[in-house]
Structure 1
Amino acid sequence: MSTIRVDAHGPFHHTAALALLAAHAIPGAEEVDGERYRRVLTVGDEQTVVTLDLNRHGITASFDPPGGDSETATALVRAWFDLDTDTTTIDRALAQDPHLAELVRRRPGLRLIGYPDEFEAVAATVIGQQVSLAAARTFSGRLVSAYGQKTGDLRAFPDAHTLAPRDANEIQQHTGLTYARARTLHEVAVRWANGPVLDGLPADEARRVLLSVPGIGPWTADYLLVRAMQHPDTFAPGDLVARRALGLDHKAAAERSTAWAPYRSYALLHLWTDAAYL
């Protein structure tokens, strides 16, 4: 086993991060117990089980067996949990807004928790379209059970290279997804089979690429800009949770969000966390 310590730049609301992880945790692939989170992780070319202990200062990550070099592992964890962001500056800006001031006061140091792998982010989001979080976890758990490689007592989320040769009918049979959703998941696997597609793209170009995938609509594209790319200034006006929190329709929510630039993604995360996570 190897262990690294990764400190956050500024405040880190680790309980909100854990609540988000718990809400999306896939059976058989992820575990959240108190302030500890476990999953299979690929570091470099090596697969390992990582145990993350979160606190308000940052994260202690333990890898069993040791995975890759410590520099690669540290960079992965820092990016995954948005630990390099100066949350003090963001909190100060958002606290000027009357709707967000109380949320920021309650949860300083909220960060854009992403995914350790781009394909997993896109695939998991496709699976979760238009269903509850509980249903999304069930469907994802079936996918992991059918195709995920086992490491220790957990299975990895299957990679694009594994799913691309399968067809939509087979994926549907194993997961219980609708055929249309299974077809979109397979299309994503084919497009991502050779590696990340969005990495390094400007937000507007990444959104265009996502919308070119049959079955991915505006809400999914916006959500992925926030969760997969961790773009700091994206709002999802089509998000029902955010609209309900604001008490506004699609157009009015989009207009309201302009006041939160250039930190609209963090504002959206405050709305999500207050309504659904913590």
Structure 2
Amino acid sequence: MTNSEHHLTAAAPFDFGMSLRFVGGFSPTAGEQRIGDGRLVKALRVGGETVLAEVSASGTAVQVRLSGAQGQAAVAAALDRIRFFLSLDDELEEFYALADDEFRPVVERLYGYHQVKFSSPWENVAWAILSQRTPRAVAVKAKAALIEATGNLFEADGILHPAFPDAEQVVALDNLAEVIGNVRKAGYLQGAARRWLDLSETELRQAPYEEAKEQLLSLPGIGPWSAMFVMIRGLGRTDEMPTEKEFLRAAARVYGRALDEKALVQLSDRYGPWRGYWAHYLRADS
């Protein structure tokens, strides 16, 4: 097995403990990583292979131990995936400087928390489809079945670490409807996987916001809300924010009053391109 040690740097302020706390409570990825002793151990798909990353940090210095990455290209891709997944490059001071009086205590509680995204935007797309109009527990079960069906397991020290399948693997599944227990969603998921293979994640990260969003809207099963969801939680692009009930409740708790969608949008205006981060902090603090 190929093992290698690497060092990354996070933009200050950075609190890896906050990242671990969020991951530990994020139900869409429950059971897909191990957390303990200040470390995150997670299997990832990189270049058609499953690799294992063990991540720890001291201040802004992030240590990564990779297992199974074959060659420099695979190592570089894995490190890029980890850096993006943990949002290590997010410059939060600009965001924090915008905090209003009611939001400032949230900043103090989450100070140094960089948004932990889905491990890839493709995984976020798949979760958006699986979770549409579906109880959370049912969607989590379907996602776990999808991982099991593709067999992406990395064994280390007698422990099996699952990795979410890449789009190529989903396209190749002949029994997808049986696996996830839903014919309609299987059609959307497989169609989205085929279309995803024609897209460039790099371009989605860098293209003008509306252009990138239009690319997501071209995926079967992805509507305006899901596209915005993937933009924030899969691509780290926070120009927009969700306004559904759970965010209204989170904002009402912080701001101490009932809020409708119009009031929520008005509150978010001061945060400009950080409004999606603001919304994420509201939910992460709940």
TM norm structure 2: 0.82
More off after superposition, 259-268 vs 60-69: 60-69
C-alpha separation in 2, matches of 1:74 and 1:165:
27
Helix, strand or coil for the counterpart of 2:285?
helix
1:221 and 1:201 map into 2 onto residues whose CA distance is: 15
Q: Which amino acid aligns with 2:112?
A: G
Where do residues 77-226 of structure 1 align in structure 2 (5 Å cutoff)? 77-94=82-99, 97-152=100-155, 153-166=160-173, 170-176=175-181, 178-194=182-198, 196=200, 198-226=204-232
| Aligned length in residues | 269
Closer, same or farther: CA 100–67 of 1 in aligned 2, 3 Å = farther
Distance, in Å, in 2 between the alignment partners of 1:67 and 1:134 is 36
8 Å CA contact 1:26–1:138 kept in 2: the answer is no
The answer on whether the counterparts of 1:91 and 1:109 sit within 8 Å (CA) in structure 2 is: no
Q: What's the CA shift for 1:64? A: 1.6
Contact kept in structure 2, 1:46 and 1:68, CA below 8 Å:
no
Counterparts of 1:6 and 1:106, CA distance in 2: 25
Identity %: 26
Matched, 1:16 2:22: no
| Counterpart-to-counterpart distance in 2, 1:230 and 1:270 | 13
CA distance in 2 between partners of 1:76 and 1:68 (Å): 16
Q: CA deviation at 1:5?
A: 2.1
Contact 2:69 2:78 in 1 (8 A): no
Deviations 1:61-109 (A, max 9, x none): 1112345435544433222212122222321222xx1231110011112
Cα RMSD over matched residues? 2.5
Q: Is the 8 A contact 1:121 1:228 kept in 2?
A: yes
Q: Given residue 246 of structure 2, which amino acid in structure 1 is its aligned partner? A: V
Deviations 1:12-59 (A, max 9, x none): 132332233221464664333353222222445653111122454343
Contact 1:67 1:73 in 2 (8 A): no
Deviation at 1:194? 4.1
- The answer as to whether partners of 2:152 and 2:163 remain within 8 angstroms in 1 is yes
Q: Relative to 1, partners in 2 of residues 1:189 and 1:45: Cα closer, same or farther, differing over 3 Å?
A: closer
AA aligned opposite 1:222: M
Q: Distance in 2 between the 1:271 and 1:67 partners?
A: 40
